[in-house]
């Protein structure tokens, strides 16, 4: 399995990014012939309470985040979808979020984690955020994406450090580590796409970014426990 650090990924030529994506851990989850592979089927026995708590919070918040991300892009698409160039940019990122959520849904079942009680709230809040920023214009929508993906990319990066406390000898945990790396790199790719599409030209960019980032950080804290 090919993986890379955030810095390596961001500095890599496009061809190498494609190679990493091709070797993605998520493809094992979405390959039905792998359904009984212990890495995507089993959960570690005899986790200490602190380890289970870590896994429990991590997967609940990650799943909730991917729900919200899907609805942010749905909201953006509802406003900007008639513009063909905006549509193709948003659609490409949304397709990756669909993949992230499909994998997170499998992980939640695999590790017997309770989903967030705020599932419907995440959908509504995500759609509202995506649609409202898109109503301010394409650059504001990209500023929203930039802020969200910055927070989520850093969240996944922090999670990789926490996961060192989980039993890495179990195949499901090494798989989870690879997945989080893959998703972090996807989110950082979305961040780059937003900047390339002039997110920083949005009116009130600094204020909008700060507001969206604060909301995302609060949502992460809440969904760990609720
Ligand atoms: Fe995602
Ligand atoms: Fe993303």
Q: CA separation (Å) from 17 to 22, 160, 179, 189, 196?
A: 9, 20, 15, 10, 17
Residue 149, annotated as binding a ligand: yes
The rounded distance, in Å, linking the Cα atoms of 183 and 93 is 12
Distance in Å, CA 49 to ligand 2 centroid:
31
Q: DSSP for 163-186?
A: GGGS-TTSHHHHHHHHHHHHHHHH
Tell me the ligand closest to 104's alpha carbon. Answer: 1
Q: For residue 82, report the distance from its CA to the centre of ligand 2, in Å.
A: 21
Distance 144 CA to ligand 2 centre (A): 11
164 is in an annotated binding site: no
Instruction: For residue range 154-183, list pLDDT tens digits in order.
Output: 999 999 999 989 888 899 999 999 999 999
Q: How far apart are CA 217 and CA 31, in angstroms?
A: 33
User: pLDDT of 106-130, one tens digit each?
Assistant: 999 999 999 998 998 989 999 999 9
- Residues 165-194, buried b or exposed e (16+ Cβ, 10 A)? ebeeebebbbbbbbbbbbbbbbbbbbbebb
Lowest mean pLDDT among 13-17, 26-30, 114-118: 13-17
pTM value is 0.83
Lowest-pLDDT choice from 30-34, 54-58, 122-126, 155-159: 30-34
Cα separation values, 83 from 54, 88, 193, Å? 43, 9, 17
Looking at the CA of 102, which ligand is closest? Answer: 1
- Distance, CA 179 to ligand 1 centroid (Å)? 11
182 in a known ligand binding site: no
Q: Is 190 annotated as a binding residue?
A: yes
Distance 153 CA to ligand 2 centre (A): 8
């Amino acid at each position: 399995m090919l993986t890379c650090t955030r810095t390596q990924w961001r500095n890599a030529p496009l061809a190498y990014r494609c190679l990493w994506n091709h070797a993605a851990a998520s493809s094992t989850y979405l390959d039905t012939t792998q359904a009984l592979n212990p890495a995507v089927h089993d959960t570690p026995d005899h986790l200490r309470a602190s380890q289970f708590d870590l896994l429990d919070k991590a997967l609940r918040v990650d799943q909730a985040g991917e729900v919200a991300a899907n609805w942010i892009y749905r909201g953006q698409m509802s406003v900007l979808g008639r513009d063909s160039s905006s549509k193709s940019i948003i659609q490409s990122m949304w397709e990756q979020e669909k993949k992230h959520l499909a994998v997170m849904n499998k992980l939640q079942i695999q590790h017997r984690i309770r989903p967030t009680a705020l599932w419907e709230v995440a959908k509504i809040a995500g759609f509202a955020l995506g649609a409202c920023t898109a109503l301010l214009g394409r650059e504001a929508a990209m500023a929203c994406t930039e802020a969200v993906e910055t927070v989520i990319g850093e969240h996944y990066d922090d999670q990789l450090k926490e996961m060192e406390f989980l039993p890495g000898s179990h195949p499901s945990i090494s798989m989870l580590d690879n997945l989080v790396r893959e998703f972090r790199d996807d989110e950082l790719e979305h961040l780059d796409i937003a900047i390339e599409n002039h997110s920083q030209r949005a009116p009130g960019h600094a204020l909008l970014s700060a507001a969206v980032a604060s909301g995302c950080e609060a949502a992460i804290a809440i969904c760990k426990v609720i």
